[in-house]
Amino acid sequence: MCLAIPAKIVEIKGATAKVDMMGNERVVSIDLVPEVGIGEYVLVHAGFAISVIDDENARETEQLLLEVAEAYEAEE
């Protein structure tokens, strides 16, 4: 199973972008989504932005990931 995390594009430099991924900054490749712009959301997997998503979808996905993390922590 693969998991892609939503991230907001903060800065673009050539074929890479600095993203905000749930409060953490990362640099990812945007080779697969060259049309993306600053302020847009992408799904990131293995260091690559693999698709552009809308704001609502990004927020919903972030919320679901937080709920999964909380449930996991509650089990420990």
Structural tokens at position 59: 């927020």
Closest by CA to 29, choosing from 14, 39, 41, 40, is 14
Q: What is the Cβ-side half-sphere exposure of residue 64, based on CA atoms within 13 angstroms?
A: 10
Per-residue pLDDT of the chain (76 residues; tens, 9 = 90+): 678 999 999 999 999 999 999 899 999 999 999 999 999 999 999 999 999 999 999 999 999 999 998 888 888 7
5-75 CATH choice from 3.60.90.10, 2.40.50.140, 2.30.30.140, 1.10.645.10? 2.30.30.140
pLDDT (0 to 100) of residue 75 = 80
Structural tokens at position 64: 């679901």
Measured distance CA(44)–CA(48) in Å, rounded = 5
pLDDT (0 to 100) of residue 62 = 92
Closest by CA to 30, choosing from 39, 42, 21, is 42
